Amino acid sequence: MLKLILLFRRKPGMSRADFIDYYETVHAPLSVDKIPGIALYRRSYVEPGAAPFGHPTTEAGFDVVTELGFESREDYDAAVQAFTSPELGTLFYADMQNLFDLSEPQRGYFIRQELSPIPARAAP
């Protein structure tokens, strides 16, 4: 599976609760409905507060890690073509202005995922 990670910051002045609500009830359903080829669409919201494992608390610089997965390069290319088409490009840009801080370029990365086997553990 071809996977893409996108890091988004919420629109200035938008509360975290409103950001999550809009993303989950408007933007994500719109994306699933309009963009072909998506096989995986996951949003992981950064939790405020202390950082895990004793790391110092720092501002992440983004509010959500969005993961998109495509079964093939052709599916990804079809999604990009749809997203950048004049009709959908205008629709999505308008929607993204309601949700994301677009004052800086958005960050996205192709990733290769590796999983470590976790042995079964006896119940305590």
The 10s digit of each residue's pLDDT in 48-107 is 876 777 776 667 789 999 999 999 999 999 999 999 999 999 999 999 999 999 998 889
pLDDT computed for residue 52 by the predictor: 74
Residue in the structure block whose two tokens are 């408007």: 26
- Check if the beta carbon of residue 37 is closer than 8 Å to that of residue 80: no
pLDDT computed for residue 91 by the predictor: 94
pLDDT computed for residue 95 by the predictor: 95
pLDDT computed for residue 105 by the predictor: 86
Please name the fold of domain 2-51+60-111: Alpha-Beta Plaits (3.30.70)
Q: Hey, where are the domains in the chain?
A: 2-51+60-111
Provide the mean pLDDT of the chain: 91
| CA gap 36, 32 in Å, rounded | 8
